[in-house]
Structure 1
């Protein structure tokens, strides 16, 4: 089985706009999540939803609906600030706040985490120890690619157990990449969703995922709710932010529908049930 996940956040929360300016923007996460929930129900897809703490705070009913629909709820942090811009103390504080918000709504322990914009990098590996300290069993924040905002290009492409000096363990599960052959070692093609799902023609997306399957490897694909909402407001942004945020939004839902027909998807808690049970023992 493969993993499908959703980074549950508003359209304006990942585009370099400070949190103290968010009040001026239209809330659209509920309507866009309803589109995704409907599509997943239609194709019997269950997902892991990495919910931003601020979203859980403002839309508690949405979190409960996602949970009642059978999807796993994990944490996406609280403020959507990049991890390497936070102090360890603030990261821990925001992590605890997001976990407490989610657990109060679902009644279930939060076991998974994904950093905003995959920003556990070489400069913020300290965050992994804090995640383990706070009871997180798996993380999906390290992206084995190069990007101006994130990435550790030579990181493991497949799930691996990370162990701290005190022996505490956690499962790291990156989103999908396909490795290029020599003479380009440690060069991976990102194909785990997000902007890449919108940028690539579907035949290429499908081909890359099939090639990963042929290697006997794990596939993890993700999206954001705003990516299935092409009507969300368009604002002036730096070009490299705007280009990836608004590119080809109309293609997301049709591509997801194809993806759900071509591949089987389940949440992290199901695909890695035995590993998580071992880590929690």
Structure 2
């Protein structure tokens, strides 16, 4: 455990689709979800607290948690663990990993979901329902990989990914040494076998402690430069909107290529495409 002179900083990005007990889109929708969404907010906040407590037990003294679902205002501030600072609201140039920089020792992705097109995965998508696939230097990635590359640009390792079983498998494919917790096993896109929420939180807290302590042994995910990112949309309307961005190259009705000198530039172009095409 680090001494007081070796203060440890942890960054947490938390989504909602991968939270234990959440299986239907309506449960994640702040506009139409009603009481179901309010219950998901509570479950999300409790999983956030489990991850925060795990970081504290590992010796982290500076913990920033980024609310990373929908308009980034889902966590219930008064219920949140007092050890963390909450990043809440929009707009954000770096979306789910806004404010992450090289000063962080470890990044944790809580409540994440699998990429678009993944079978037996709860509410699978990649940043937006308009996106069919994203590839970075030839490797298909979802939000876990996209965001892990951002962390890696700053030299920060992603040490823990939690969500359904599918996203933990996806995470291991790009982050071989990452710690994971599967809080549910999907039987379809909107059905899953869920752990009891208390058991899920116990596992998240325990694994977060181990993961943060292991941070120095886990390598950051770095994208080789120059970056080539390929983005495929589901429909031509969204693609037509994305084509308005002058720095992207349309190579088909639905496919675009982004070429950039570094990953930050590539991501910002991608995120601009998602935003203009009606994502989030």
Alignment TM-score > 0.5, same fold: no
Taking structure 2 as the reference length, the TM-score comes to: 0.37
Structure number having the greater strand percentage: 2
Structure number having the greater helix percentage: 1
